[in-house]
Structure 1
């Protein structure tokens, strides 16, 4: 029962720890994201009355079809469609045929008269015009004779065959053109007038012209009739060709001072800008999106926690850096309009540069994606339901470039170098947008936007350099740049070791080389191990001559004091070093390494020396108070410190002896429990053992013995 309670309490403790270190900061981050972006998705409504003056310019928050206006335009298009008519070819051919029949019949009558004259050559028979007309009526259809007067026939007959033929041709041509255009009831008279006008301006005989005009009046009849099917089809086509009336997101519905007409009021109602039509769905969508982003951040913080890399400083850094980035974007968005794309100038890469320097690259890449998504919301022009994909992509590529180009950090100038890489990527991304755009940009526009892109990279580098000391000192975060600064031999403390304890200085350099190599072999922080090794024995400067590496041509002072006093002096050096490091305000990680690098190991030499005189000596009096190494780096320095001292004491350091000493020290640390409180695994200890041996063999490799020149 007691074990179950203990497990339950342990489980609750872990949950409480997770809630304080991960859940609460992630929730705070979500609140920050929500507060900054809610105005970009929240649909503001207005208390507006019809026929009042607009107090401000109002834009549409969404893109929507104005169906009522679309229907009105469709009706107008339908009403504008003229009736469709079909021309009857039967009527056309029939009327043209009547005219041809008249002239053919007249020609026939004239031919008959000529034949009769030839047969009665001696006594010619006199044929009058009336006889010709009578004969003509016999040949013509009743439709013609009933409607065409004899005077018309007479005038035509009285003209020569050439005149008749020419008149026929002119009349038929005019009639054909008129019928092809279509003759309806309402335009019949104008069609007849057009044919008559054509005849008027010919050189034909006056009588023939009159006769042809009368025939035109007879021939021109209605041949174009209303076609219901074609008319309906034309109306449908006109309605289909009407483009929907769209109210675009960002479109001005009413300007400040303009009267709210019925039409404007209907538009405001349609896009949901009236008080009674409040819409909460965009806010709910934003909460869900922020929730997803927070879950990603919480997961990455949990990964850091499992790797024992999450502390209060890094938690505060994640929150503060995210707050800094979103505030920068929000401030710039307040001055961004449809005409000026100021998001190109946002130094958004500042955040990921700081995260990579202070925490790690993986988290920087994750946060780059999150900041890009948040930026696409912030710069959406406060149009609910829309994202500024262009801004989001620009932010993502800019931040990714910053992460990639920030490599091999040696000093703060490396950040400036990464700014040049960012500039190139920013310009390329800008060119992509300009070339893919349908809008035409002038060369001046390119230079302006290009200047924004360059300013973004430059500001990102400058702000990173400016904020980095605040996070390093204010939050106690140890960055690679800080470590490189501490590794500079010109540091006052390192100079103190070199001048007051040169043997210790050389020992520290050797331990640093071994520790860095071993750390890198298992994926630990090699740079931290190197710098920690530089400072781990700073306490020896308090009494440098009591340590063997500094005893050059002097008598060993331990020979004249008791083992108890010697042990006290030796045991005190890690804690004397911690005091010195705290006084000089060095990072906690370096101080911890100095304090932990001997753990609770036993000073065997002085312990057994005292035991020869006093069998009742207490072992704890000759052990370091600790604590034991808590990190991989401290544990590796603990091993390398003893290994370097032991190997250096060998007169002939062969490979076999090196292997033996390293194995002995590693096994001793394991058996003594010195590595119990650090996260090293057995497999990692094996890798460390192999790496140290290989490094030492490289340092103490066999040299060729050159023959000495004999003296003559």
Structure 2
């Protein structure tokens, strides 16, 4: 029993630990980052890893094997390079030292002949024998005999002629394979010499015996020339889509070698490994760059796990959609859709860095086609710039049209740079224009789903909420017309003031439209909706009146949730009074007795105080409009004085402490309020005659 209880307690502890881990923000961020990394890596690998083929020489393929990307036909290129290298003639260097050695050898032969001739104690046969021993196997018997029988001047003349002939022949260079040709030249040279034939024969014999190649093979120079010739060969290019092996034909050895070079053979998995490693490194670099940008420049986004998930989802989804449209055309990649969604849902600066990240990934997915990636990037940046502030839904359509125009111009300029044909430029430009409209369609279609899923209120959503035909606004108009009119004026004031201080004017106007919807529950307890002079508060205790008035905030939140108003609009409802004091009812409760002890908190709104500029502006606009409306004869001076007094009172009461408004902002707000209120509550011109006519009719 104790063992079972122990196991149960361990499971409970494990569940609690897991829940704690899952709720840890650092862990959640890590999971988003890991999921993003794996998704991008899988997308790129799925579109870049080539299909492998198990083939041997002579196999018949059942489909065309085509190149999935531009590449170099290394097999054909290597053949051309080898042919170019073989065509380079071998390089030789003329060695004059060998020529001198050959001439010295001739000198030695003739000196030896003279030495043997001088041996008078020998007969002719002995001399020939001795000469053969001193010049072994190099000359014929006839040459030995002729040399020994020649006189001293004759020998000297033959020696001179022989050296001259050898020098003439060897100065032109003698290669190993051209020895026979050199000997033929020697014979031709001796023909022109005025000596007896036997002597010429002896000279030729000596020259044949000593001559040797003086052109030395220069291996380094030859290799240098061959290398230059190989480098001059233009590589044989394989274009994307080119058929490498035709269907129904046997595979040749050359084709097998080519497929191996391109990493398309099943037995060769080394290319898979290197590509996977390369993709992992690239995705890691891109994600680190994205994380650094978010951490350094968008700290609020970094702390919001939901927004990080949204950013990752949009980028991954954009790349996934891109893989579907790339089969039609690389210029139809709707990267601008992702850029515009990030710009609208998160912020434009985040969309810019995301566009760069997505364009690099798209370039890799398209087989390193970075021209198409450049077009997608510039189109995406155009979408970001145009959606910086969306004032109406049609702006998204206009943004798509502008993206199409930019795509058209970029494709046209690149086509002109590359001397593309007019047909190619026209066809590609068409896809670029279609890309813009496709991006806008995807943005408009996907935006509402992301808004609802992540609870984000975009400018497009705000525009929808500002439509007077919204059910809640129509109900406010019909059931509490005074409050509706008051909200419209407050919205105009808030919009002008928000523009003046650099706030979100659209958010301020829409927030003002809904800030008093809680009055729908008891509209006639609020003076702007009272059509008669009867005021129900005259019959109520001040404390009860204060409770009814302050309860419109809680009622407003209930109605807002019922109508699914975004949290950012609900903030206006719950914060637009802050913790302000209901001065009228508080003083009425005191009933002139200043020493009467009352709990002031019973006459204050529950708050919280305004947390943003826009809510604080609506608070000030709400009070300013009500106060100026109660003036009997408003003048510009009175209006501005009252506006500034109200702002001072709110500031002194601490209602603006948490709104980030500066004193300079408050001065701009007062000026904006005064300008709008003067236009609304200006002094009217009286028409006495018209009034008298109406009185007579009355």
TM above 0.5, one fold?
yes
Question: Aligned equivalents of 2:503 and 2:296: distance in 1?
Answer: 15
User: 1:415 aligned to 2:365?
Assistant: no
> Which one of the candidate residues 395, 408, 419 is aligned to 2:376?
395
Shift in Å at residue 73 of structure 1? Answer: 1.9
Q: Give 1:507's aligned residue.
A: 486
Summarize the Cα distance change of 1:662–1:456 in structure 2 as closer, same or farther, 3 Å threshold.
same
Q: Give 1:569's aligned residue.
A: 548
Shift in Å at residue 590 of structure 1? Answer: 1.4
Summarize the Cα distance change of 1:644–1:43 in structure 2 as closer, same or farther, 3 Å threshold.
same
Residues 20-99 of structure 1 mapped to structure 2, 5 A cutoff = 22-40=29-47, 42=49, 57=65, 59=67, 63=72, 69=79, 72-74=82-84, 76-78=86-88
Contact 1:78 1:235 in 2 (8 A): no
User: 1:554 aligned to 2:536?
Assistant: no
Give CA deviations for 1:379-402 in whole Å, capped at 9, x if unaligned.
Answer: 01xxxxxx2111111101221222
Give CA deviations for 1:426-467 in whole Å, capped at 9, x if unaligned.
Answer: 2112212221225x52x4434432332222122112222222
> Which one of the candidate residues 658, 661, 672 is aligned to 1:695?
672
User: 1:361 aligned to 2:351?
Assistant: no
Q: Give 1:533's aligned residue.
A: 512
Number of residues of Structure 1 aligned to a counterpart in Structure 2:
547
Question: Aligned equivalents of 1:523 and 1:307: distance in 2?
Answer: 19
Question: Aligned equivalents of 1:303 and 1:655: distance in 2?
Answer: 48
Summarize the Cα distance change of 1:475–1:540 in structure 2 as closer, same or farther, 3 Å threshold.
same
Q: Give 1:384's aligned residue.
A: none
> Which one of the candidate residues 319, 322, 333 is aligned to 2:315?
322
Contact 1:658 1:693 in 2 (8 A): no
Q: Give 2:210's aligned residue.
A: none
Summarize the Cα distance change of 1:356–1:606 in structure 2 as closer, same or farther, 3 Å threshold.
same
Summarize the Cα distance change of 1:599–1:471 in structure 2 as closer, same or farther, 3 Å threshold.
same
Give CA deviations for 1:502-554 in whole Å, capped at 9, x if unaligned.
Answer: 32222212221222233233332211110010111112122222112223432
Q: Classify the secondary structure of the residue corresponding to 2:611.
A: coil
Q: TM-score, normalised by structure 1?
A: 0.66
Contact 2:334 2:376 in 1 (8 A): no
Q: Give 1:685's aligned residue.
A: 662
Q: Give 1:585's aligned residue.
A: 564
Q: Give 1:451's aligned residue.
A: 430
Summarize the Cα distance change of 1:599–1:23 in structure 2 as closer, same or farther, 3 Å threshold.
farther
Give CA deviations for 1:70-119 in whole Å, capped at 9, x if unaligned.
Answer: 6632454247x9999xxxxxxxxxxxxxxxxxxxxxxxxxxxxxxxxxxx
User: 1:644 aligned to 2:625?
Assistant: yes
Give CA deviations for 1:126-181 in whole Å, capped at 9, x if unaligned.
Answer: xxxxxxxxxxxxxxxxxxxxxxxxxxxxxxxxxxxxxxxxxxxxxxxxxxxxxxxx
Question: Aligned equivalents of 2:428 and 2:677: distance in 1?
Answer: 60
Contact 1:647 1:661 in 2 (8 A): yes
Question: Aligned equivalents of 2:300 and 2:237: distance in 1?
Answer: 50
User: 1:523 aligned to 2:509?
Assistant: no
User: 1:633 aligned to 2:614?
Assistant: yes
Please identify, of 624-633 and 567-576, the stretch whose mean Cα deviation from structure 2 is larger.
624-633
Q: Give 2:229's aligned residue.
A: 241
Question: Aligned equivalents of 2:324 and 2:57: distance in 1?
Answer: 35
Q: Classify the secondary structure of the residue corresponding to 2:568.
A: helix
Q: Give 2:99's aligned residue.
A: none
Higher relative contact order (CA 8 A, sep 6+): 1
Question: Aligned equivalents of 2:535 and 2:91: distance in 1?
Answer: 121
Shift in Å at residue 264 of structure 1? Answer: 4.5
Contact 1:64 1:248 in 2 (8 A): yes
Residues 121-270 of structure 1 mapped to structure 2, 5 A cutoff = 240-242=228-230, 243-244=232-233, 246=235, 248=237, 254=245, 262-270=253-261
User: 1:469 aligned to 2:448?
Assistant: yes
CA RMSD after TM alignment: 4.3
Shift in Å at residue 375 of structure 1? Answer: 1.0
Shift in Å at residue 327 of structure 1? Answer: 0.9
Shift in Å at residue 487 of structure 1? Answer: 1.4
Summarize the Cα distance change of 1:597–1:257 in structure 2 as closer, same or farther, 3 Å threshold.
same
Summarize the Cα distance change of 1:700–1:296 in structure 2 as closer, same or farther, 3 Å threshold.
same
Which has more radius of gyration? Answer: 1
Q: Give 2:409's aligned residue.
A: 428
Question: Aligned equivalents of 1:308 and 1:645: distance in 2?
Answer: 38
Shift in Å at residue 320 of structure 1? Answer: 2.8
Shift in Å at residue 326 of structure 1? Answer: 0.5
Summarize the Cα distance change of 1:411–1:550 in structure 2 as closer, same or farther, 3 Å threshold.
same
Q: Give 1:206's aligned residue.
A: none
Summarize the Cα distance change of 1:21–1:519 in structure 2 as closer, same or farther, 3 Å threshold.
farther
User: 1:290 aligned to 2:283?
Assistant: yes
Summarize the Cα distance change of 1:239–1:74 in structure 2 as closer, same or farther, 3 Å threshold.
farther
Q: Give 1:108's aligned residue.
A: none
Q: Classify the secondary structure of the residue corresponding to 1:241.
A: helix
Shift in Å at residue 356 of structure 1? Answer: 2.6
Question: Aligned equivalents of 1:517 and 1:316: distance in 2?
Answer: 35
Question: Aligned equivalents of 1:569 and 1:266: distance in 2?
Answer: 88
Shift in Å at residue 331 of structure 1? Answer: 1.9
Question: Aligned equivalents of 2:304 and 2:224: distance in 1?
Answer: 71
Summarize the Cα distance change of 1:555–1:281 in structure 2 as closer, same or farther, 3 Å threshold.
same
Q: Which runs of 5+ in 2 are unaligned?
A: 1-19, 94-179, 185-212, 693-698
Summarize the Cα distance change of 1:406–1:270 in structure 2 as closer, same or farther, 3 Å threshold.
closer
Question: Aligned equivalents of 2:47 and 2:685: distance in 1?
Answer: 81
Contact 2:73 2:237 in 1 (8 A): yes
Question: Aligned equivalents of 2:597 and 2:566: distance in 1?
Answer: 41
User: 1:488 aligned to 2:481?
Assistant: no
Question: Aligned equivalents of 1:553 and 1:591: distance in 2?
Answer: 32
Summarize the Cα distance change of 1:276–1:49 in structure 2 as closer, same or farther, 3 Å threshold.
farther
Summarize the Cα distance change of 1:642–1:467 in structure 2 as closer, same or farther, 3 Å threshold.
same
